[in-house]
Structure 1
Amino acid sequence: MPLPGILSRPNLQRLTTLRSRREPDQAWISDLEGYRQVLQGGWSERTCHESFLEPAGPGVPTSRGQCGVSSAWLAEKLEARLVRHVTYCYGDVYSVGQDESIVLGRHCWIEVGRESDSSRLVVDLTGDQSDALRQHEVLHGPHDELQIRLDVDYRARIRLKPSELVDDLVYERLIILKQNLAARAVAR
């Protein structure tokens, strides 16, 4: 059975194959596309990381500067769903190969599984900020398979449990995101 290693908008039909390899309690995987859509409705200048507040120009995705706050939101969401071993990660995404250059620096994402497990799940709701990952608005797959299938390596410098986010700089922006999402829900 071939495994896709990623989940992106064009590859949603492959979700069932990927889920069958993982633990049965991971029904949350099928909600990732919806989570990205929900988050887009809450993104604003106030939720954007300050280093990305300068005008981006044409063709830059709306996710630019929203990786930290989106990953923090997802970490809390998954923990509330009782998903085990959820980790908020901050680091760099490297190309795999001869040059091993950074394709997405100072980036945030979620990992599910133990750091020592090479098949831990990487979940990136904003990887499309990078040209190398532009086609993957929602990226999901085992860490080791992403290295093979997409030639990228997610390398965390900082790893936090969802309960530790309250002490991180992203927390203030997370509160704003939650307020934005609540206001949007009331307006509907």
Structure 2
Amino acid sequence: MSSAWLLHELPWPLRVRSSYCFGDIIVANQTLQFHCWIEVGNPTSPHRWVIDLTCDQYELLADRAFVCDRHSTLVNLAIDYRALLRLSAQQLRHDPVWHRTQLLAKGMTRWFDRRPSEL
């Protein structure tokens, strides 16, 4: 869900070039299944950016707080993000995760709008 929220929050020029991805991460020949992340750029380009806010939920990536790197750089580190599904920001609105993303966005807006004395 955090990847869907991030896609929603990206500036329009980046959002147009981005995809919400669902798939596997191959780390040192081990498959980490059922994960979501964002890719920015051409999906077939090794120079596309991979942004993963929750990679540390896997023990093999626990040393990273997040991923924000080019796909080619990650592959050189034996980390390969393999999307089974790619959705544009427009297509994401029809995915079941969208409703939960909107609830998160609304909650975050309320939280950020609080006065310092309320925090």
Q: What is residue 177 of structure 1 aligned with on the other side?
A: 104
Distance apart, 1:110 and its partner CA:
0.4
Structure 1 position 101 matched with structure 2 position 30: yes
User: 1:140 corresponds to which residue?
Assistant: 68
Q: 3-state DSSP class of the match of 2:65?
A: coil
1:95: Cα distance to partner?
Answer: 1.9
Residue 160 of structure 1 aligns to which amino acid in structure 2? L
Per the alignment, in what secondary structure is the counterpart of residue 91 of structure 1? strand
The superposition leaves residues 6-43 of structure 1 with CA deviations (integer Å, 9 ceiling, x where unpaired) of: xxxxxxxxxxxxxxxxxxxxxxxxxxxxxxxxxxxxxx
For 2:40 and 2:113, how far apart are their aligned partners in 1? 32
Kindly report which structure 2 residues correspond to 1:36-55, keeping only aligned pairs within 5 A, or say none: none
Name the counterpart of 1:153: 80
Instruction: Provide the rounded CA distance (Å) in 1 between the counterparts of 2:89 and 2:106.
Output: 19
State the superposition RMSD in angstroms.
Answer: 1.3
- Report the counterpart of residue 13 of structure 2 in structure 1: 82
Deviation at 1:186, TM superposition (A): 2.9
Give the whole-Å Cα distance in 1 for the aligned partners of 2:36 and 2:66.
13
**Secondary structure, aligned partner of 2:93:** helix
* Structure 2 partner of 1:163: 90
Cα deviation digits, residues 59-90 of structure 1 (max 9, x gap): xxxxxxxxxx1111111222x34114111100
Stretches of 4+ moved more than 4 A in 1?
A: none
- Aligned pair count reads 114
Q: Distance in 2 between matches of 1:110 and 1:162?
A: 10
TM-score (norm 2): 0.88
1:119 aligns with 2:54: no
Higher strand content, 1 or 2: 2
Question: 2:118 aligned with 1:187, yes or no?
Answer: no
Identity rate of aligned residues, in percent? 35
Gaps (5+ residues) in structure 2? none
In the alignment, structure 1 segments of 5+ residues that lack a partner are 1-68
Equivalent position of 2:2 in the other structure: 70
Q: Distance in 2 between matches of 1:125 and 1:81?
A: 19
